[in-house]
Amino acid sequence: MNDSDKLIEREVSSEEVFKGELLHVFADKARLPNGNISTREWIKHPGASAVLPVFENGEVMLVKQFRYPLRQIFFEVPAGKLDEGETPESTARRELKEEAGISTDSMHYLGPFYPSIGYTDEVIHLYTAWNLTSFDQKVDEDEFLLKHRISFREAVEMVHRGDISDGKTMVTILQAWHWWQEDGPFSV
C-alpha cells in the first residue's frame, strides 16, 4: 500500500448550499482515513489564467485594480476566470487583450497555482508572454484598471519588499523570472 493512501478522504455525500454566478459552495460529508465522518465545506471555482507580458526592453505590464473583499488596490498580472469551453491559454490571451490591451503570438506555460487548497478547488494557470502588440484596453463594463509598466527586475523586487502581495501575481512574477533567466527568448 502506498504511504499516501493513508491520507485520502472519500466523499460520502455532497450538498450544494449556495450557487452564485461565479462560485458554488458545498457542504460534504467525507470519510477520513481513520474511518470517522467529518464535514468539508468547499467552494467550486471554474478556474482561471494569469499572464505576465514581457516587453523586449525588459519591462513587464501589471494592472492596478481595486479588490472589493479587501477594500484595497493591488498590483496584479492580467488574469481572469475561464469561460465555459475555453482553454486556459485562450483565457490568458483574452485577459491580456482585455486588461492590458496587448496581443501576443508567443506564450510559455509556467504551470498551475492553487491559491487556497483548504477551501476551494480553484486552479490558476500561469503564463508569460512576449512578441507583444499593444492597442487600447477593452475591459468589461464593471471592471476598472490602470496599466502599469515597470522593469521585470523591479517587479521581482516589489514582490520581495511586499509591495506586490496578490498570490497569483507573486507566483507568476517569480516563476516567470526564473524561466526567463534559464530559457527566456531574450535577456531581461
Residues 34 and 72 in one domain: no
Residues 129 and 177 in one domain: yes
141 is catalytic: yes
Structure confidence at residue 78 (pLDDT) = 97
Residues 71 and 147 in one domain: yes
For the stretch 17-55, pLDDT in tens is 999 988 899 999 999 999 999 999 999 999 999 999 999
Distance, CA of 78 to CA of 96 (rounded, Å): 6
Residue 139 has pLDDT above 80, yes or no: no
Among 41, 98, 122, 141, the active-site one is 141
Q: How many domains does the chain have?
A: 2
- Domain range for residue 24? 3-44
Q: What is the DSSP string of the chain?
A: --GGGGG--EEEEEEEEEE-SS-EEEEEEEE-TTS-EEEEEEEE---EEEEEEB-TTSEEEEEEEEEGGGTEEEEE-SEEEPPTT--HHHHHHHHIIIII-EEEEEEEEEEEE-S-TTTB---EEEEEEEEEEE------TT--EEEEEEEHHHHHHHHHHTS---HHHHHHHHHHHHHHHHH-SS--
Residue 185 has pLDDT above 80, yes or no: yes
Residues 161 and 105 in one domain: yes
For the stretch 144-177, pLDDT in tens is 899 999 999 999 999 999 999 999 999 999 999 9
Residues 136 and 148 in one domain: yes
For the stretch 54-83, pLDDT in tens is 999 999 999 999 999 999 999 999 999 999
CATH number for the domain harbouring residue 65: 3.90.79.10
Average pLDDT of the chain, as a whole number: 94
Residues 62 and 153 in one domain: yes
pTM over 0.95: no
Could you give the strand order of the β-sheet that contains 48-53, starting from the edge strand earlier in sequence?
79-81, 48-53, 124-134, 102-113
Structure confidence at residue 5 (pLDDT) = 84
Structure confidence at residue 1 (pLDDT) = 54
Residues 178 and 95 in one domain: yes
Could you give the strand order of the β-sheet that contains 24-31, starting from the edge strand earlier in sequence?
10-19, 24-31, 37-44
